[in-house]
C-alpha cells in the first residue's frame, strides 16, 4: 500500500463501484450536489453502461408511466415495501423531468413502458456520459474492486485489480447482479448477508405436442398460475419455439422466482386461455351454441381472443373431429374442451432467459440497509444501489427505475 494514501483527505472523496445504470446515477447526483467532492467511478469492464446499451431490445425501457409511489412499489417481487418510501423521494416523473432537463424526451407506450423518443439506448448513454463529464466525475474502466476495508476513523481503503489501493470517505457499491461475482465475498467480509441469488424474468421451456408448430401465436388476456397454488398472473401469453413467454409468464417467473429455483424449474402450471371466462361461463356459452346453432360446426365458433390455430389444436387434443356439429358434442368431449381452455395444464421443464430483460433475484439483505440514505446499517459511509441489492421488478422499466431512485438517494446521502 502506498503510504501517501494514508495522508488525511482534504477533499471529500467518493468512490462508486460499477459504471452501470445505478453507478452513473449515483455519481452524477453526488458530483452535481457537491461540486467540490471528488467522485470516481471504477468499472471492471472495458466499457460503461453496457446493460443500458442492450436494454429494452436496444431501445432502453427507461422507466414506467406509473406516477403513484404505492402502485409503483407493487411491481417489485422483492423490495416492494422498502421502495415505497424511496419512491416518494424519486419516482418516474422525476426521472422523466431529469432527462428532459438534459434534452432527452421520453415517451410512454400503450402498456406504460417509457423509452427515449429516439428509440435508441445510445441517447441515454450519451446523456449519462455528458452529464458525468460536465459534473467532473472521474471515470475509470478496466479496474475491478477486489476488497474493501473499513477503517476505524470511518474512511475506507479499497484494493483494486490493478494493484491500486485508494482511500475514500464514502463508497457506493453499484456492481449489479452478485451472481457469480467475486465481490460477494468482499461484501460479506464487511458484515453483510447475501440473499440467495437466482434468476428472475425467464420464459418457460415446455416440450408439449399441443404447442408444436404454433410459435408466434399470442393470446392477449390469459391467466396463469403454478399448481398446486400461486397467485394468478394475467396478461398476454406468447407461444415460442421452446414453450411459453410473454408478460404474464414473465410476471409469474418473477413473483415465483425462488419457488421455480427450489423446484429446479420442473413445475406444473395451469393456463386459462380465455382470461376472465370461467368454466361455468364457457359451459353456458356452449349450451347456447347447441340450442341456437346446433347444426353449425364446433370448429367455426372460435372463442373471442383465441387464435384459430390454437383453438383447432385444442379441439384436436380433445378428440373433437373437424366435422363435429354443436348438437353432436358429447358431454365428455365438452368437459375435456372446457378443461383445455380454462385449466390447461403444462409441465415446465427448464427456463429460457428473456432476451429483452432479465435480472437477479437476491442480493444484499434489505434489513441491513437504511433506505432513507441507501446506507449500510452495519458500516457507516458504505452505500448500495441497483441490482446488487435484493430488489427486482417485473419487466417494463421497473428495474431501471429502482436503480435511478436508489442511486439518487445514495448520491445525495454521500454528500450530506
Ligand atoms: C438484456 C437485458 C435487458 C434489460 N432491459 C431493461 C429495460 O429495458 N428496462 C429495465 O428497467 N431494466 C432492464 N434490464 C435490467 C437492468 O439492466 C438492470 O436492472 C440494471 O442494469 C441494473 O443496474 P446496475 O447499475 O445495478 O447494474 P449493471 O447495469 O449491471 O451495472 C453494474 C456494473 O458494475 C460493474 N462491476 C461489477 N463488479 C465490479 C467490480 N468488482 N468492480 C468494478 N466494477 C464492477 C459491471 O461490470 C457493470 O458494468 C435489462 C437487463 C438485461 C440483461
What pLDDT does 1 receive? 41
User: Measured between alpha carbons, how far is 399 from 169 in angstroms, rounded to an integer?
Assistant: 28
What pLDDT does 3 receive? 42
Backbone angles phi, psi at 362, to 5 degrees: 110, 165
CA–centroid distance, residue 353 to ligand 1 (Å): 15
Residue with CA at minimum distance from ligand 1 atom 6: 55
What pLDDT does 9 receive? 57
User: Measured between alpha carbons, how far is 47 from 166 in angstroms, rounded to an integer?
Assistant: 21
Residues in the chain: 416
Mutate which of 176, 178, 183 for ligand 1 pocket (most atoms within 8 A of beta carbon)? 176
Count CB atoms within 10 A of the CB of residue 71.
10
CA–centroid distance, residue 327 to ligand 1 (Å): 58
* Residue 407 CB less than 6 A away from ligand 1: no
- Closest C-alpha among 6, 26, 8, 2 to residue 16: 26
What pLDDT does 8 receive? 55
Query: What is the CA angle 152-156-161, rounded to 5?
Result: 140
Per-residue pLDDT of the chain (416 residues; tens, 9 = 90+): 444 455 555 799 999 999 999 999 999 999 999 999 999 999 999 999 999 999 999 999 999 999 999 999 999 999 999 999 999 999 999 999 999 999 999 999 999 999 999 999 999 999 999 999 999 999 999 999 999 999 999 999 999 999 999 999 999 999 999 999 999 999 999 999 999 999 999 999 999 999 999 999 999 999 999 999 889 999 999 999 999 999 999 999 999 999 999 999 999 999 999 999 999 999 999 999 999 999 999 999 999 999 999 999 999 999 999 999 999 999 999 999 999 999 999 999 999 998 888 999 999 999 999 999 999 999 999 999 999 999 999 999 999 999 999 999 999 999 99
Cβ atoms of 125 and 51 within 8 Å: the answer is no
Backbone angles phi, psi at 415, to 5 degrees: -110, 0
Residue with CA at minimum distance from ligand 1 atom 19: 399
For every residue of 344-376, which 3-state class applies, written as one string? Answer: EEEEEECEEECCCCCEEEEEECHHHEECCCCEE
Element (H or E) spanning 150, and its range? strand 145-150
303 DSSP assignment: P
* Residue 147 CB less than 6 A away from ligand 1: no
Cβ atoms of 64 and 401 within 8 Å: the answer is yes
What pLDDT does 10 receive? 76
* Residue 43 CB less than 6 A away from ligand 1: yes
20 DSSP assignment: S
Characterize the bridge pairing of strands 13-17 and 170-173.
Answer: parallel
Cell of 103: 434534452
Cell of 105: 424526451
CA–centroid distance, residue 393 to ligand 1 (Å): 13
* Residue 21 CB less than 6 A away from ligand 1: yes
Helix residue ranges, H only, 47-102? 50-58, 69-73, 80-89, 92-101
In the chain, the domains with their CATH numbers are: 6-198+357-415 (3.50.50.60), 202-353 (no CATH)
Cell 446521502, residue located? 413
Rg over CA atoms, the chain: 26
* Residue 175 CB less than 6 A away from ligand 1: yes
* Residue 260 CB less than 6 A away from ligand 1: no
pTM for the model stands at 0.94
187 in helix, strand or coil? helix
CA–centroid distance, residue 410 to ligand 1 (Å): 17
Amino acid at each position: 500500500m502506498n503510504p501517501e494514501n494514508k495522508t488525511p483527505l482534504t477533499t471529500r472523496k467518493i468512490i462508486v463501484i460499477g459504471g452501470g445504470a445505478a453507478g452513473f446515477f449515483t455519481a452524477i447526483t453526488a458530483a452535481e450536489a457537491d461540486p467540490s467532492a471528488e467522485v470516481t467511478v471504477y468499472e471492471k469492464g472495458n466499457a460503461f453502461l453496457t446493460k443500458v446499451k442492450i436494454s429494452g431490445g436496444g431501445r432502453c425501457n427507461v422507466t414506467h408511466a406509473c406516477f403513484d409511489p404505492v402502485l409503483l412499489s407493487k411491481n417489485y417481487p422483492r423490495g416492494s415495501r422498502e421502495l415505497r418510501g424511496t419512491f416518494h423521494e424519486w419516482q418516474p416523473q422525476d426521472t422523466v423531468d431529469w432527462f428532459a432537463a438534459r434534452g432527452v424526451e421520453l415517451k410512454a407506450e400503450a402498456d406504460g413502458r417509457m423509452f427515449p423518443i429516439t428509440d435508441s439506448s445510445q441517447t441515454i448513454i450519451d446523456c449519462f456520459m455528458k452529464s458525468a463529464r460536465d459534473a467532473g466525475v472521474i471515470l475509470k474502466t478496466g479496474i475491478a474492486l477486489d476488497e474493501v476495508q473499513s477503517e476505524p476513523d470511518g474512511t475506507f481503503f479499497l484494493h483494486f485489480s490493478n494493484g491500486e489501493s485508494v482511500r475514500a470517505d464514502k463508497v457506493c457499491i453499484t456492481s449489479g447482479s452478485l451472481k457469480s461475482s467475486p465481490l460477494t465475498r468482499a461484501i460479506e467480509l464487511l458484515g453483510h448477508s447475501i440473499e440467495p441469488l437466482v434468476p428472475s424474468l425467464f420464459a418457460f421451456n415446455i416440450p408439449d405436442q399441443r404447442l408444436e408448430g404454433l410459435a408466434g401465436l399470442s393470446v392477449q388476456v390469459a391467466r396463469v398460475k403454478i399448481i398446486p397454488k400461486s397467485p394468478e398472473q394475467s396478461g398476454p401469453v406468447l407461444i415460442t419455439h421452446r414453450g411459453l413467454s410473454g408478460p404474464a409468464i414473465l410476471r409469474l417467473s418473477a413473483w415465483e422466482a425462488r419457488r421455480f429455483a427450489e423446484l429446479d424449474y420442473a413445475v406444473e402450471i395451469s393456463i386459462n386461455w380465455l382470461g376472465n371466462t370461467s368454466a361455468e361461463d364457457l359451459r353456458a356459452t356452449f349450451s347456447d351454441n347447441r340450442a341456437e346453432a346446433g347444426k353449425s360446426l364446433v370448429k367455426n365458433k372460435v372463442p373471442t381472443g383465441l387464435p384459430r390455430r390454437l383453438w383447432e389444436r385444442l379441439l384436436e387434443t380433445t378428440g373433437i373431429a373437424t366435422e363435429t356439429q354443436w348438437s353432436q358434442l358429447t358431454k365428455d368431449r365438452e368437459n375435456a374442451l372446457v378443461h383445455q381452455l380454462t385449466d390447461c395444464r403444462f409441465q415446465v421443464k427448464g427456463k429460457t432467459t428473456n432476451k429483452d430483460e432479465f435480472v437477479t433475484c437476491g442480493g444484499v439483505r434489505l434489513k441491513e440497509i437504511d433506505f432513507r440514505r441507501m446506507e449500510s446499517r452495519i458500516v457507516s459511509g458504505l452505500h448500495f444501489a441497483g441490482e446488487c441489492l435484493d430488489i427486482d421488478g417485473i419487466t417494463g422499466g421497473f428495474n431501471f427505475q429502482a436503480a435511478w431512485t436508489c442511486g439518487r438517494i445514495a448520491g445525495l446521502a454521500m454528500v450530506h
